[in-house]
Amino acid sequence: MPAGVKMQMLTRRLFGFSNRAQLNKPLTEALRALGPVCETCHEIAKEVDLVPEGSEFVESGSFPGRTVQKLSAHFKAHWNDEYELVDLSGRKDPV
C-alpha cells in the first residue's frame, strides 16, 4: 500500500434507502488478502461487488447480521490505525 493511503470505507446514510458503503482499493485488497486466513473477511469479500474504485457493500434486510457498522468494527480490529470509516451523510449518531 502506498505511504499515506489509508484503508477507508465511505458511507452515506439516506432515509428510506439501504445503507451502503464504498470500500476503497487498499481496503478491498487487504480484505481479499486476509480471506484465506479470516473466515469473516472471506464471507465479507463474497458479499461485496467489485467496482473500479474498490468494492461496494449494500446492507440486506434478508441478512440482518451484516451491517456497515459491524463491517467497520471488524476492519478496525484488523487494521486499527490504517483504517477509517468516513460518513458523508453529515448526520450525527445519537449518544
Question: Is there a domain that residue 35 lies in?
Answer: yes
Supply the range of the domain harboring residue 32: 20-87
Domain count, the chain: 1
Question: Is there a domain that residue 15 lies in?
Answer: no
Quick one: 55 exposed, middle or buried, by C-beta within 10 A (0-12, 13-18, 19+)? buried
> pLDDT tens-digit profile of 14-67?
655 568 899 999 999 999 999 999 999 999 999 899 999 999 998 876 666 788
Question: Is there a domain that residue 8 lies in?
Answer: no
Question: Is there a domain that residue 39 lies in?
Answer: yes
* Top-confidence residue, 48 or 5: 48
Q: Whole-model pTM?
A: 0.81
Binning pLDDT at 50, 70 and 90, where does residue 1 land?
A: very low
Question: Is there a domain that residue 45 lies in?
Answer: yes
> CA–CA separation, 85 vs 12, rounded Å?
11
Lowest mean pLDDT among 33-37, 72-76, 87-91: 87-91
* Top-confidence residue, 49 or 93: 49
